[in-house]
Amino acid sequence: MPINRVRVVTFGGSDSSGGAGIQADLKTFSALGVYGASIITAVTAQNSRGVQSKLVIPAELLNSQIRSVMDDIGPVYAKTGLLPSPDTVETVAAAFKEYRVPFVLDPVIKAGSGTTLMEPRALDTLVQQLLPLCRVVTPNLPEATAISGMEIRTATDMRDAAIAIRRMGAPAVIIKGGHFERGATSGRAIDLIYDGDEFHELELEYIAHDVVLHGCGCSFSAALTAELAKGLDLYSAAVNAKEFVHYAISYSDTISWFKVANPAHRIRMDADRYRVLNNVKEAVKQLKRMKNFRELIPEVGTNIGMAIECASDENDVAAVDGRIRATHEGIHAGCVEFGVSSHVARMILTMMRFEPANRSAINIRYRPELVTACENAGLVVSHFERAKEPPGMETMVWGIKEAIAGSTKMPEVIFDRGAYGKEAMIRIFGTNAINVVKKLRRVLN
């Protein structure tokens, strides 16, 4: 059954690099489950080096876009980004007076590279004609300084500027503090909300970066728009938007000389977790049906796991809770969950440092004939000696590094012959859990 999505629209510039402007807005809308229409105010030729050229959309064409979207799509909320000229601002202000759609005003003055995109007179027009019409205005520190005329160095300055901007007609103000020096905020990224009655601070860990961040402000205002369109109050919408952008920055894409916020990464991660979980579950079913698999289970039990694409710790690795064990009733396997096996997680995470595609592994009983079978099956085999393990080292981390270093090709099978009090083991690696089971089946055959 078709879904009647919440519809929103963005007014802004087209960014040829794909990281900011209309492109960032539409990616964010899609990631947050609302339908986004777009009204182009300018076309820019830009990349990580800067803005090479810009074309302002004539008022007649801009007005035609507005009517096409407003009269047919019927957005319930809007946001504005780059409004480059006084004529652009006047056309957009007239449209909001006519259609009375609530909107988020993101006063884009410069590109992330530092190039000025907005004419000085356009900012004056924006303050006079558009600021009083918006639901909330979301300047960063330089933009708040330009609008208020106040230098902002401290949290107190932010509050004073927010009060000044609200007195200019904005019902609510969110000043984004990402441009503060990291030391000035004790390593925290602090945004300020002021609605005329009280202040709220939104605080998350500051994400250090040594290159220009691109598209973060656009993504925040677009996320705020999407959350407001869903019916959230301003504070709740701002909290969600900040968390969303924080995540998008954490997993940003490095493109040439800048980092681009990645609004879709959370969706990809969630989808990947779902796929990984189902992949391991299917692999476990196949293992339980596999003839002679029982004989491969070591005394400590077998486990099979798989990591998500961008795994960082054991909570990103799905495995069998309690391992797979042979019992009198047959083969018993616990539930497949994330974060339930530090042992298999360490194996996989270490392997992924050297070969990111190998996101899955299984451990089985060591037998010399099984090692030979692995070689006969065409698998690349390597090993390490547990007796040589340095004191205080984690076996899986050290051992897998040793086995990789001692092999001319990336190993698919790593074994050890055990040591005093340590059971010998074979580990088979693959791109996913089902792939690992296929390799194991080749070995048994």
Bridge partner residues of 381 (DSSP): 413
The Cα–Cα gap between 344 and 361 comes to: 7
Q: How far apart are CA 48 and CA 259, in angstroms?
A: 9
pLDDT of 182 reads 45
Residue with tokens 């590109």: 111
* Percent of residues, the chain, with pLDDT higher than 90: 78
- The pLDDT > 70 percentage for the chain reads 97
pLDDT for the residue numbered 186: 54
Half-sphere exposure of 8 (CA within 13 A, CB side): 33
Token pair 């339908």 is found at 35
Give, in degrees to the nearest 5, the angle at Cα 42 between 37 and 47.
100
Task: Judge whether residue 264 has pLDDT over 90.
Answer: no
What secondary structure does DSSP assign to 410-423, as a single string? --SEEEE--BTTB-
Distance CA 88, CA 11 (A): 10
Segment 405-419 mean pLDDT: 95
Identify the pLDDT of residue 2: 59
The predicted structure's pLDDT at residue 422: 87
CA 358 to CA 353: how far, in whole Å? 10
Kindly indicate whether the domain formed by 269-444 is annotated with CATH number 3.40.225.10: yes
Higher-scoring residue by pLDDT: 208, 85: 85
Across residues 375-399, what is the average pLDDT? 91
Give the 3-state secondary structure of residue 357: coil
Please give the average per-residue pLDDT across 235-260, as a whole number.
90
How many C-beta atoms lie closer than 10 Å to residue 332's C-beta?
15
Which residue in the block uniquely carries the two structure tokens 């990645």? 262
Mean pLDDT across 291-314: 94
pLDDT at 112 over 70: yes
What letter would DSSP give residue 71?
I
pLDDT in the model for residue 179: 58
Distance CA 132, CA 166 (A): 9
When pLDDT is cut at 50, 70 and 90, the band that residue 180 belongs to is low
Instruction: Calculate mean pLDDT across residues 30-40.
Output: 96
Average pLDDT value for residue range 61-78: 97
Every domain of the chain and the residues it spans:
7-262, 269-444
**In whole angstroms, what separates CA 254 from the centre of its chain?**
13
pLDDT band with cut points at 50, 70 and 90 for residue 94: very high
Can you list the pairs that 405-411 forms with residues at least 24 positions away whose Cβ atoms lie under 8 Å?
406/382, 407/380, 407/382, 409/380, 410/354, 410/355, 410/358, 410/380, 411/380, 411/381, 411/382
Give me the pLDDT at residue 184, please: 46
Q: Which long-range contacts (CB under 8 A, 24 or more apart) does 238-242 make?
A: 238/174, 238/191, 238/193, 238/200, 238/202, 239/202, 242/191, 242/202, 242/204
Average pLDDT, the chain: 92
> Is pLDDT of 11 > 90?
yes
How many C-beta neighbours within 10 Å does residue 323 have? 21
For 339-403, strand residue ranges (E) read 360-365, 381-383
Whether the per-residue pLDDT at 5 is higher than 80: the answer is: yes
Nearest Cα residue to 295 out of 365, 358, 247, 227:
365
- Token duo for residue 239: 């909290």
User: pLDDT band at residue 123, thresholds of 50, 70 and 90?
Assistant: very high
> 96 or 257: whose pLDDT is higher?
96
Q: Is the pLDDT of residue 41 over 70?
A: yes
Question: Which helix (DSSP H) or strand (DSSP E) does residue 398 occupy?
Answer: helix 395-405
Mean pLDDT, to the nearest integer, of 167-173? 97
Please name the helix (run of DSSP H) or strand (run of DSSP E) that holds residue 307, with its range, or none: strand 304-307
Look at residue 326 and tell me whether its pLDDT is greater than 70: yes
pLDDT for residue 59 is more than 80: yes
Q: What is the model's pLDDT at position 181?
A: 55
How much is the pLDDT for 56?
A: 96
- Confidence (pLDDT) at 67: 97
Tell me whether domains 7-262 and 269-444 share a fold.
no
Q: What CATH number has the domain spanning 7-262?
A: 3.40.1190.20
What pLDDT shows up at residue 330? 82
